[in-house]
Amino acid sequence: MSDAVVTVGPVAHGGHCVARLDGQVVFVRHALPGEVVEIRVTERSKRFLRADAVQVLEPSPDRVTPPCPLAGPGLCGGCDFQHVSEEGQLTLLTDVVREQLQRLAGLDWDGRVEAVGPLLDWRTRVVWSVAENGMAGLRRHRSHDVIPVESCPIAHPDIPDVSRQLWDEPRVETIASSTGQRLLVTDASIEDDLEAQVDGVVASDGTVRAGTGTLVEEVRGRRFSVSGSGFWQVHPAAATTLVEAVLAGADVRPDDRVLDLYAGAGLFSAFLAEACAPGELVSVEGNRRASADARGNLAELPNASIVHAPVERALRRGLLGARADVVVLDPPRTGAKEAVPAIAALEPRRIVYVACDPAALARDLATFATLGYRLESLRGFALFPMTHHVECVAVLARA
């Protein structure tokens, strides 16, 4: 099929917009709702097509010139919305969250996704793919092809530079911490290996302290140790933004029993433990490296305990007790489908659900509704500028 002209419809979850070509649904990247564009089909299936907008005939008022020369059809797949103004990006993210909540959970949300600047220079953790020639770069959209990248506009300026040498690893991860440390992990493909090879922490003066594989992050005056390439929020403002939203939504009281599920290195756990003291905080994490980090990060909090087990297994086996006053959960992108019934069975007063995927969140909110919990409030945060990713904090109470 040769290139064709279409009128672009609404944004869809996943970084593209919906159009129709000869009656068939087309998911179009690099376009905006309302635009008339020339598209080039990149993938075909029986149910839909995927395409790139290769020429804009009638642009949207929200269209801008991408700050990155690699943001465009057939190039780097790291960003979705570099061609969209900041307000336009917030509108797209808001529309996606609203549509997912309505379609999957029957909920009408009248909020708006909140901006969390900056738009550029924000990504403090970047995993670079390595091409066959040893050059580090980022993958083409929906491809294993590696696009060489000398400079990424959304990458934090303090992360180590990987463009000046050849690599013999499949992936290289670069990290800049909020306390000024820089880490380069050359075995980032081993996500849950405590023995992952770490080149070292590079101090602000450029020297390398070999053999050091732990970074220190600081949030609201409290410090957290995070091992190697362990999970931590990638936007510099994300940790503080989410902690404040979680604490406001949880409304923890002294003497409460609080569960922090999928707790990672204990970011929420530390502040929840302080809020519920002298009550009990249980921090639950299945990843052994993150659980070990949490044990150290919460060591000074006598009312905090650590459970190292997958959340679903811990709930199923009764390892977390029979009741809780407040439950906070921050599951992976797939959501908490298997855990939702067991969480509701604890009959918490409040449930705070932190979600990085609005579709999984909406699905789980629908299940919570059948178990007696209503959505009390929801906030969305643009913690991944230039991309389709959005973080939500949903607060549920018993109906």
Mean pLDDT of 12-37: 97
Does residue 147 share a domain with residue 111? no
In tens, the pLDDT along 224-256 reads 999 877 899 999 999 999 999 999 999 999 999
> Per the annotation, where are the binding residues for S-adenosyl-L-methionine?
233, 262, 285, 330
pLDDT at residue 202, as a whole number = 52
**Together in a domain, 134 and 258:** no
Q: Is the pLDDT assigned to residue 188 strictly greater than 60? A: no
44 part of a folded domain? yes
CATH number for position 362 = 3.40.50.150
CA distance 177 to 216: 7
Residue 189, domain extent = 125-227
The residue-averaged pLDDT of 102-130 equals 96
Q: Is 75 a member of any domain?
A: no
Alpha-carbon gap, residue 233 to 240, rounded angstroms: 10
- Assess if residue 90 is contained within a domain: no
State the Cα torsion 367-372-375-376 to the nearest 10°.
-160
Give the number of residues written for the chain: 399
68 catalytic residue (yes or no): no
Which residue's structure tokens are 């564009």? 37
Specify whether 213 is located in the same domain as 250: no
- Across the range 376-382, mean pLDDT stands at 98
Q: Kindly tell me if the per-residue pLDDT of 197 is higher than 50.
A: no
Residue 342 above 90 pLDDT? yes
CATH code for the domain in which residue 26 is found: 2.40.50.140
Per-residue pLDDT at 193 exceeds 50: no
pLDDT of 210 strictly over 50: no
Across the range 389-397, mean pLDDT stands at 98
Examine the domain organization and report whether 109 and 197 are in the same domain: no
pLDDT interval class at 207 (50, 70, 90): very low
pLDDT in tens, 39-59: 999 999 999 999 999 999 999
Per-residue pLDDT tens over the stretch 151-187:
999 999 999 999 988 998 899 999 999 999 998 887 6
Instruction: Write the DSSP string, 271-318.
Output: HHHHHHTTSEEEEEE--HHHHHHHHHHTTT-TTEEEEES-HHHHHHTT
Q: How far apart are CA 204 and CA 181, in angstroms?
A: 7
Looking at the domain assignment, is residue 82 inside a domain?
Answer: no
Q: CA angle 332-94-61, nearest 5°? A: 135
Q: If residue 226 lies in a helix (H) or strand (E), which one and from where to where?
A: strand 222-227
Please tell me the predicted confidence (pLDDT) of residue 208: 43
Question: Does 13 reside within a domain?
Answer: yes
Domain identity same for 248 and 392: yes
Please tell me whether residues 222 and 243 are part of one structural domain: no
Dump pLDDT digits (tens) for 295-337: 999 999 999 999 999 999 999 999 999 999 999 999 999 999 9
Taking the alpha carbons at both ends of the chain, their separation in whole angstroms is 53
Residue 359's alpha-carbon distances to 227, 333, 362, in angstroms, are: 30, 9, 5
Residue 80 inside a domain? The answer is no
Does residue 334 sit in the same domain as residue 205?
no
Please indicate, yes or no, whether residues 239 and 378 belong to a single structural domain of this protein.
Answer: yes
**Distance (Å) of CA 227 to CA 49, 191, 289, 347:** 42, 11, 7, 34
- Do 220 and 270 belong to one domain? no
**Residue ranges at the known binding site:** 233, 262, 285, 330
Q: Is the dihedral of CA 88, 89, 93, 99 positive or negative?
A: positive
Same domain for 364 and 258? yes
Based on the fold, state whether residues 380 and 323 are members of the same structural domain. yes
Q: Which of 84-88, 193-197, 211-215 has the lowest mean pLDDT?
A: 193-197
Mean pLDDT computed over 140-144: 95
User: 129 with 215, same domain?
Assistant: yes
- Could you give the CA distance from residue 379 to residue 326 in angstroms, rounded to a whole number? 18
How confident is the model at residue 186, as a pLDDT?
A: 79
Catalytic residue among 79, 276, 356, 392: 356
- Does residue 74 lie in a domain region? no
Higher pLDDT, 194 or 314: 314
The answer as to whether 77 is a domain residue is: no
- Average confidence score pLDDT of the chain: 93
Look at the block and give the residue holding tokens 């811990």: 314
Averaged pLDDT for residues 140-148 = 95
Look at the chain and report how many structural domains it folds into.
3
